[in-house]
Structure 1
Amino acid sequence: MSQPPLLLTVGEIARRLDTKVHRIEYVIRSRRIEATGWAGHARVFSEANFDHIASELIRMDADRHPSTRSNG
């Protein structure tokens, strides 16, 4: 039997990425990432959304600290 899709709240995404909730909120808002659905009053996001948010945080951090990039 297949597992139901994993749905994550903003707080859970922040916990998994070890960052603050306001950074996750900023990425969601600025990149116009749509919630997959709602669980009560909480927005929930798919694993694909999680991957997108994680990659945007990495990109933002690289833009903020260009000296940490590799010179490949």
Structure 2
Amino acid sequence: MSQPPLLLTVGEIARRLDTKVHRIEYIIRSRHIEATGWAGHARVFSEANFDHIASELKRIDEERSATHSQLSTRKEVTR
């Protein structure tokens, strides 16, 4: 017998990705990620949604790191 699909709340996604809920909410809102369904009043997301959210979070963090690195380099050059 197959297992039912895993459905995750925003809080569970944040916990699994070790980040704050507001960052997950931002990605869901800005990338127009649709919830798979509802569990009571909570939106739930599929594993595919989780993978999409995780990749977007990684991309944001990489861009932030690259920008921070560029700013640090500029400060050193101007000294």
Tell me, yes or no, whether TM beats 0.5. Answer: yes
Larger of the two Rg values belongs to structure: 2
Return the TM-score normalized by structure 2: 0.83
Give 5+ residue unaligned stretches, structure 1. Answer: 68-72
Q: CA deviation at 1:10?
A: 0.1
AA aligned opposite 1:7: L
Does residue 38 of the first structure (1) align with residue 38 of the second (2)?
yes
Runs of 4+ in 1 over 4 A off after TM superposition: none
AA aligned opposite 2:61: D
Give 5+ residue unaligned stretches, structure 2. Answer: 70-79
AA aligned opposite 1:26: Y
- Structure 2 counterpart SS, 1:65: helix
Return the TM-score normalized by structure 1: 0.91
Return the structure number with greater helix share: 2
Superposition CA RMSD, Å: 0.5
Sequence identity percentage? 88
What residue number does 1:17 align with? Answer: 17
